[in-house]
């Protein structure tokens, strides 16, 4: 089959590789129909993931049709159209039993190696799914493949970040970072809050945020003052940090009102983030970081799409072929694209 593999830093190649085969009675093989590139893929693309095995097939956002299932698979069958959770999980450990998929003791992220055990991803014609009864989920007819690819990862992550913010009706919410994840967060937060103040530096992203109903705010030095002006001098009730990295988190901490909540869904790897603990104490702030849990939340997230309350598809800026993966990664890294869909 054709597959998009990372052979070295910034070296994505689509080449012929052996077809995956059923590896255990719990596994399945699917035909991939739609796959997407995620900001998290850039971490390995840039060579930042310790222990990453060059040759790993990329991609943790994908949907497909079941081709073959192992003997113990009970909830899906060949021919079923399915979404794939971005992270496999065992369903048996303490964390899985307590509804904490991202903390599963046996987790692995599709398209990654190093941080977790290698698990080839979905930017390919077919993909092996280790624990089909948990990793796969049949799609309703009313949810398109293109919509479902967001449920697999970033829409679920946004859902988790908004739920964690524990909003009251009418709360003012700031979204830090209006990339694809931030736009998902705006769509979901609009169902649970009052005003959405969206911060970014890229004009096109701010326009996209505004088109979703948010108040766009250029994330420059005056941004914090502008947010305070809009909120009676106090700051917002909750911040959802969707960009990752230290500068975004630093900004986020300054936007929350006293007793406010900073709910982080951007990725963080800084071992030495410089936290203003004095300000956090003075303001009695809460800081909470969440990882998306598509296996735990997919029914709730799919419902948002099914009922039309959220439509993630307009976030797709480019539809390309799998064979164009190298060019797609280049464009995505250069921020020439908002969200790129690849089809085999």
Q: Per the structure block, which two tokens stand in for 340?
A: 């790129």
Exactly one of 1, 67, 194, 320 binds a copy of itself (CB under 8 A); that residue is 194
Give me the least distance between CB of 133 and a copy of itself, in Å please: 9
**Of 1-9, 91-99, 177-185, 317-325, which segment contacts a copy of itself by CB under 8 A?**
91-99
Check: CB of residue 58 under 8 Å from CB of residue 4. yes
> Three-state SS for 230?
helix
C-alpha angle with apex 191: 238 to 235, nearest 5 degrees?
20
Q: Which is nearer to a copy of itself, 259 or 319 (CB)?
A: 259
Give yes or no for residue 246 binding a copy of itself (CB under 8 A): yes
Exactly one of 9, 78, 117, 258 binds a copy of itself (CB under 8 A); that residue is 258
**Of 35-43, 118-126, 217-225, 274-282, which segment contacts a copy of itself by CB under 8 A?**
274-282
CA distance 93 to 100: 10
Give yes or no for residue 304 binding a copy of itself (CB under 8 A): yes
Give me the least distance between CB of 255 and a copy of itself, in Å please: 16
Place of tokens 């095995």: 53
Give yes or no for residue 149 binding a copy of itself (CB under 8 A): no
Q: Which is nearer to a copy of itself, 18 or 170 (CB)?
A: 170
Exactly one of 285, 294, 312, 322 binds a copy of itself (CB under 8 A); that residue is 285
Tell me the CB-side half-sphere exposure of residue 26, using CA atoms within 13 A. 9
Give me the least distance between CB of 73 and a copy of itself, in Å please: 12
Listed in sequence order, the residues at least 6 apart from 323 whose beta carbon sits closer than 8 Å to its beta carbon are: 2, 14
CA distance 263 to 297: 17
Check: CB of residue 25 under 8 Å from CB of residue 45. no
Exactly one of 23, 75, 201, 343 binds a copy of itself (CB under 8 A); that residue is 75
Q: Which parts of 196-235 interact with a copy of itself (CB under 8 A)?
A: 232, 234
**Of 36-44, 53-61, 122-130, 275-283, which segment contacts a copy of itself by CB under 8 A?**
275-283
Listed in sequence order, the residues at least 6 apart from 23 whose beta carbon sits closer than 8 Å to its beta carbon are: 70, 128, 130
CA distance 71 to 334: 45
Exactly one of 9, 207, 269, 313 binds a copy of itself (CB under 8 A); that residue is 269
Q: What are the b/e assignments for 49-68, b being 16+ CB within 10 Å?
A: beebeebbbbbbbbbbebbb
Give me the least distance between CB of 55 and a copy of itself, in Å please: 25
Give me the least distance between CB of 191 and a copy of itself, in Å please: 5
Tell me the CB-side half-sphere exposure of residue 331, using CA atoms within 13 A. 17
Binding letters toward a copy of itself, positions 150-189, x by CB under 8 A: ---------x--xx---xxxx-----------------x-
Check: CB of residue 133 under 8 Å from CB of residue 74. yes
Q: Which is nearer to a copy of itself, 137 or 332 (CB)?
A: 137
Exactly one of 13, 74, 77, 335 binds a copy of itself (CB under 8 A); that residue is 74
Q: DSSP states of 56-88 as a string?
A: PBP-SEEEEEEEEE-TT--S--TT-EEEE-SEE
Contact set with a copy of itself (CB under 8 A): 72, 74-75, 92, 94-95, 97-100, 102-103, 159, 162-163, 167-170, 188, 191-195, 232, 234, 246, 249, 258-259, 264, 267-281, 283-291, 299-301, 303-304, 307, 309
């Amino acid at each position: 089959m054709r597959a998009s593999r990372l052979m070295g830093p910034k070296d994505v190649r689509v080449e012929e590789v052996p077809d995956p085969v059923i590896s255990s009675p719990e596994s399945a093989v699917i035909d991939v129909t739609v796959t997407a590139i995620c900001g998290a893929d850039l971490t390995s693309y840039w060579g930042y993931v310790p222990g990453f095995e060059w040759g790993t097939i990329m991609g943790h956002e994908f949907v497909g049709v079941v081709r073959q299932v192992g003997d113990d698979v009970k909830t899906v069958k060949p021919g079923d159209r399915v979404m794939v959770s971005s992270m496999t999980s065992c369903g048996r450990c303490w964390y899985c039993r307590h509804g904490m998929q991202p903390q599963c003791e046996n987790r692995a992220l599709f398209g990654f190696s190093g941080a977790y055990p290698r698990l080839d991803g979905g930017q390919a014609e077919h993909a092996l799914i280790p624990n089909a009864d948990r990793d796969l989920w049949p799609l309703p007819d009313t949810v398109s493949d293109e919509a479902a690819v967001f449920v697999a990862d970033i829409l679920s992550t946004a859902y988790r970040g908004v739920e964690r913010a524990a909003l009251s009706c009418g709360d003012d919410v700031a979204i830090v970072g209006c990339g694809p994840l931030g736009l998902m967060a705006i769509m979901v937060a609009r169902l649970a809050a009052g005003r959405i103040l969206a911060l970014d530096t890229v004009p096109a992203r701010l326009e996209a945020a505004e088109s979703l109903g948010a108040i766009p705010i250029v994330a420059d030095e005056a941004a914090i003052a502008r947010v305070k002006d809009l909120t009676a001098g106090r700051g917002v009730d909750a911040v959802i940090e969707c960009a990752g990295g230290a500068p975004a988190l630093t900004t986020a901490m300054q936007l929350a009102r006293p007793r406010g909540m900073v709910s982080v869904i951007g990725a963080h790897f800084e071992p030495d983030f410089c936290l203003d603990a004095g300000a956090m104490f003075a303001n009695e702030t809460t800081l909470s970081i969440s990882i998306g849990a598509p296996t735990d939340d997919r029914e709730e997230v799919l419902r948002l799409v099914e009922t039309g309350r959220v439509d993630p598809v307009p976030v797709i800026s480019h539809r390309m072929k799998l064979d164009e993966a190298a060019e797609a990664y280049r464009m995505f890294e250069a921020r020439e694209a908002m969200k790129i869909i690849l089809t085999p």
